Structure 1
Amino acid sequence: MSLMPTTTDRTAGLARGALTLGVEEEFLLLDARRPAPAPVVDDVLERVSPALRASVRHAYLRTQIGVAGPPAGDLDALWRSMSLLREGVADAAEAAGARLTAIGACPLTGPDAPVADLPRCHRTAERFGPLAPGHGLNGTLVRVGVDDPELAVQVLNHVRPWLPVLHAVTANSPFYQGIDTGYASWRSIMWERWPSVGPTPLLESYAHYRHLLDDLIASGVVLDESMLHWHARLAPDGSAVELRIGDVCPSLADTALVAALVRALVGTAITDVEAGLPAPAINQQLLSAAHWRAAHDGLEGLAVDLVNQRPRPAWHLLRRLFDLVRPQLERHGDLEIATVLMSRLRSHGSGAARQRASFARHGSLDGVLAALTEATRG
């Protein structure tokens, strides 16, 4: 049974001119017969149905695969398209002798996976070396349509204080190399090795954004605009704000909640910008500390309250975020489903908490990965 209300019920509350919403997700490919990564992305891609092929792509390593849903005007449409992609790629993976698994980082030991056989991936490996050891770091990207670049840059400034909270929500990689790392999102710690990863700086204007990007490309720190991995950035074609702040979510319900909150946060930021409200001047070092805390504690621990610079239970800050963006959730017709999904998240815990609970039940990572594979297909 779907958690989503019917389209008829939802579109009655959907505002004209609603912000469009898109999601990209990356997944781990595991061998279907044993707990081991499977470098079979090319085989999987060959088996994806023609109807979905344009939305499925290589990631960086051959043990990963990515999907990108089309922009949607409402959460129901996004849910349907992402469900079709998850199910379709899971079917293709099974036909190739693999399992599609939504996990931030592979928890198994073994030799590093080879990069995907694409010129860009080989160029990246030659330039940056072994910055992505293992079998891939799998994240979630949420894209919200904002086609005015000056407005979009101001949105980036306004959303900065809330991204660590969303970072905690997505934590889904506590295990690595066969052990519990003590972090809720070990992927985040590994991801920070890349020189272009980190909190978005406070930006003066779109010209400032472009100037920084051009300088980074000239320095060799990034190959091109698509390698700018700030936690929030502009889409390379200038049509949207993109937030890439955490692990791939274990279930589509988690992804939908994050997407709804991100769109509502962007909508709230637009309202504040248009009202002439200044963006909070959050210290960059403190913002980095808040993201580290989110990666370490996840949703079940403490988070840094960037208003008063003190630790607070992460759930308290998530509830504060929900209350802040409630008008935008209502405007987009997402309030009912977001409320249901928040309750579900509260009951089930974050992906990291679910992995640890599964490990406690099964006593092995095999059981954890089996449960995640089932949740991925959903």
Structure 2
Amino acid sequence: MTATVRRRTGSAGPGERAPSARRTPPDAAGDAALTMGVEEEFFLVDRRTRAPVPRAAQVLAALSTELGPQAQSEFYSCQLEMCTQPTASAIQLREQLRALRATAALAAREAGCLLVGAGTAVVPPREPVPVTDTPRYRRMAGYYGALVDGSLGVVCGCHVHIGSVDRSRALDLSNRLRPYLPALQALAVNSPFHGGRESGYASRRAVEFGRWPTVEPAPVLDPAGYEQTADALVRSGILLDRAMIYWFTRPSEHVPTVEIRIADVSADPDTTLLLALLVRGLCTVFTAEAAAGGGPPPEVPYGRLRAAHRSAARHGRTGAAVDPLTGDTVTGQGLITALLRRAEPGLDAAGDLAEAERLLDGLQRYGTGAERQRAVYRRTGSLTAVVDDLAASTAPEPR
């Protein structure tokens, strides 16, 4: 089923942590273009050993003047998070992704590190990496001690924010996105190596991060149900605060966006751009359908949805996959093709259809991040070579 979506123009809305986010009101039911914002988490690895090292504080100190809050610490001190500003333009998003990576990579090199886009560390840390020294992270580490190993549990993801939307609309979009997230996961897999070994998964990050509470498909909720559920999770002690709601889609607690949290971080910025364009295309379609009086979100059995995510994490784009809408056994590539068809009217409305098709064609020709990592290892037999290839793709060194 498709929808007719008229072309829209408008100013950029907020993305997560954008300085102007609270000053930007939610748009009406689709009168302004939906904006995109991306948060990418990267490893800092030692240039000699290629293992993660706790030098984020040093790198962030070098970045703070130029990038301010666009460069942030993460849970572990070997991680760096880079945040784009919100934009409605695919061209601007691509430029931001490349510029942020280049700037961060330069600061990393000055600290004796490589900036690496991978969901898990290819070469494991030589010793457990400390948690970043903030009150909240220290509290989390103490409360969830068994999950905090500083080694195999260190993972890096990519989060896409779509705005500007109020809480009700964010939840409606979240409800409608649920069946399409396994396809998005399948195209973004980028963590086949774990602990210095082949893991058997295209996204081992999904397994490791899945040990944390609420890392799962979001329940179907309206605003009242969301408030009740979020309060219960914190009151019960399952979560320390609402920021720890790690559902695959969620409304932001700080700015008017819906956040999609299903992807491994990618070494290739084009994969990140494709992910953002497809998510925005879907949200544009769903917004138009809701404005036209469309029906409720599709009913998808929770067990089937979980199985679809497990298949996507295991196989990625290749191998067997579960269609969440029908329960049929298909391929990951089949899910991705169906996703593109569903998002097509929204992509076309934003002028992004040709670009999304070009990016997807590149993914089909060159493979997902997981496929590329495995190809380098088959060719070289070297995990060091895999890390070097990831670093070169994440942010090529200047000539």
How many Å separate the matches in 2 of 1:150 and 1:43?
41
| Cα deviations by residue, 1:241-291 (Å, 9 ceiling, x for unpaired) | 000002001111110000000111111222232322221111111111111
Matching residue's letter, 2:53: A
- Any unmatched runs of 5+ in structure 2? 1-6, 11-31
Moved more, 33-42 or 191-200: 33-42
Name the structure 2 match of 1:138. Answer: 156
| Cα deviations by residue, 1:119-162 (Å, 9 ceiling, x for unpaired) | 11101100111314316210000000042221221111111100
1:332-343 mapped onto 2 (5 Å cutoff): 332-343=350-361
| Cα deviations by residue, 1:281-302 (Å, 9 ceiling, x for unpaired) | 1111111111111100111222
TM-score, normalised to structure 2's length? 0.89
| Cα deviations by residue, 1:18-57 (Å, 9 ceiling, x for unpaired) | 1011000000110012222211111111111622132001
Name the structure 2 match of 1:112. Answer: 128
How many Å separate the matches in 2 of 1:99 and 1:112?
19
1:101–1:373: 8 Å Cα contact kept in structure 2? yes
How many Å separate the matches in 2 of 1:59 and 1:49?
15
| Cα deviations by residue, 1:164-197 (Å, 9 ceiling, x for unpaired) | 1101111100011111110000000001100121
- Is structure 2 residue 377 aligned with structure 1 residue 359? yes
How many Å separate the matches in 2 of 1:54 and 1:240?
18
How many Å separate the matches in 2 of 1:49 and 1:114?
21
Cα-Cα RMSD: 1.4
> 1:303 Cα deviation (Å)?
1.5
- Is structure 2 residue 342 aligned with structure 1 residue 327? no
Candidates 364, 372, 386, aligned match of 1:368: 386
> 1:107 Cα deviation (Å)?
2.3
1:1-378 mapped onto 2 (5 Å cutoff): 15-16=9-10, 17-48=32-63, 50-109=65-124, 110-133=126-149, 134=151, 136-203=154-221, 205-274=222-291, 275-378=293-396
Question: Which SS does the other structure have where 1:202 is aligned?
Answer: coil
Matching residue's letter, 1:336: A
| Cα deviations by residue, 1:35-92 (Å, 9 ceiling, x for unpaired) | 2221111111111162213200111111111111111121111111121110000000
Matching residue's letter, 2:69: A
2:37–2:84: 8 Å Cα contact kept in structure 1? yes
How many Å separate the matches in 2 of 1:193 and 1:251?
27
Name the structure 2 match of 1:3. Answer: none
Question: Which SS does the other structure have where 2:365 is aligned?
Answer: helix
TM-score, normalised to structure 1's length? 0.94
Question: Which SS does the other structure have where 2:127 is aligned?
Answer: coil
Moved more, 105-114 or 50-59: 105-114
Q: Which stretches of structure 1, 4 residues or more, deviate above 3 A after TM superposition?
A: 13-16
How many Å separate the matches in 1 of 2:217 and 2:57?
33
Matching residue's letter, 2:369: G
| Cα deviations by residue, 1:180-222 (Å, 9 ceiling, x for unpaired) | 110000000001100121100111x111111101111111222
1:49–1:88: 8 Å Cα contact kept in structure 2? no
2:122–2:386: 8 Å Cα contact kept in structure 1? no
Question: Which SS does the other structure have where 1:195 is aligned?
Answer: coil
1:302–1:311: 8 Å Cα contact kept in structure 2? yes
Question: Which SS does the other structure have where 1:51 is aligned?
Answer: helix
1:14–1:333: 8 Å Cα contact kept in structure 2? no
> 1:14 Cα deviation (Å)?
6.0
How many Å separate the matches in 2 of 1:334 and 1:288?
30
Q: Quick one: structure 1 residues 206 and 286, their matched pair in 2 at CA, closer, same or farther if it must change by over 3 Å?
A: same
Question: Which SS does the other structure have where 2:337 is aligned?
Answer: helix
* Corresponding pairs, count: 365
Name the structure 2 match of 1:6. Answer: none
1:170–1:246: 8 Å Cα contact kept in structure 2? yes
> 1:114 Cα deviation (Å)?
0.7
Matching residue's letter, 1:211: Q
Percent identity for Structure 1 against Structure 2: 36
